């Protein structure tokens, strides 16, 4: 590659990054105004003591945290519960964890899909007690399967107005969002973009799980402010 070609490629890359950054920040500005159409006052009230923090986070500039470990990791252990960890991540708080040299036995997508919805939910929450582990290299197959389900089966159900498991879909959106935080894989961000862009009548059905809904939107807000895609 000669110098002229190299400079041209660099300019094109900078332009692409600038266009993407601008689009994400415009979406973030939109989310600041529109989130109350998704989280009703009743949903917000049901969040209890974290409601003011969620409201401030979504309405304001919001914080972001670079959740990427300083070095590649095998597994992360933490003492907090799954919901406490997810809340901390979604609100860009500090998460207390320690690295481990060993990871649990591999979970194959085929094995996961053989479980009932309730069993699948429990399995994912237990395995990703520290949700940051969805970004581990060993979990790429699971992450890809969650992405596939969201963009094929789950989106079809929402678009058609069919019944669906609200907790399960929102859990997938939260985990896919965290995977995007760690890997900077735009495909996973695009999944969150797609679901946010669904008709409001579809998204209002997600209010049945206020905490998972609020955490997903806070994670989405962080991703939209992330500078280095």
Digit-coded pLDDT (tens) for 88-121: 999 999 999 999 989 999 999 999 999 999 999 9
pLDDT the model gives residue 136: 95
pTM over 0.75: yes
Cα 163 to Cα 39, 82, 122, 158, 205, distances in angstroms: 20, 26, 20, 8, 10
Span 32-80, pLDDT tens digits:
999 999 999 999 999 999 999 999 999 986 678 888 887 889 999 999 9
pLDDT the model gives residue 124: 98
Nearest Cα neighbor of 182 from 91, 71, 107 is 71
pLDDT the model gives residue 51: 97
Residue 18 above 70 pLDDT?
yes
Mean pLDDT to the nearest integer, 20-39: 94
Q: At what angle do helices 210-225 and 51-59 cross, to 10 degrees?
A: 30
Residue with tokens 């990871």: 103
């Amino acid at each position: 590659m000669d110098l002229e070609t190299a400079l041209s490629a660099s300019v094109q890359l900078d332009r692409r990054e600038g266009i993407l950054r601008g689009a994400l920040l415009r979406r973030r500005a939109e989310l600041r105004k529109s989130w109350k159409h998704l989280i009703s006052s009743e949903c917000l009230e049901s969040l209890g003591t974290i409601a003011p923090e969620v409201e401030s986070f979504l309405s304001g500039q919001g914080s972001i945290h670079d959740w990427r470990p300083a070095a590649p990791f095998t597994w992360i252990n933490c003492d907090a519960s799954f919901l406490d960890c997810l809340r901390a991540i979604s609100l860009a708080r500090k998460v207390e964890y320690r690295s481990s040299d060993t990871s649990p036995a591999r979970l194959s997508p085929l094995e996961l899909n053989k479980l009932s919805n309730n069993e699948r939910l429990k399995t994912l929450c237990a395995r990703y007690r520290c949700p940051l582990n969805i970004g581990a290299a060993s979990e790429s197959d699971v992450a890809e399967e969650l992405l596939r389900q969201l963009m094929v089966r789950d989106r079809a159900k929402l678009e058609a107005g069919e019944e669906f498991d609200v907790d399960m879909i929102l859990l997938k959106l939260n985990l896919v969002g965290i995977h995007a935080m760690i890997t900077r894989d735009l495909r996973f961000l695009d999944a969150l973009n797609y679901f946010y862009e669904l008709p409001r009548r579809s998204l209002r059905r997600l209010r049945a799980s206020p905490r998972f809904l609020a955490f997903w939107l806070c994670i989405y807000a962080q991703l939209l402010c992330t500078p280095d895609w």
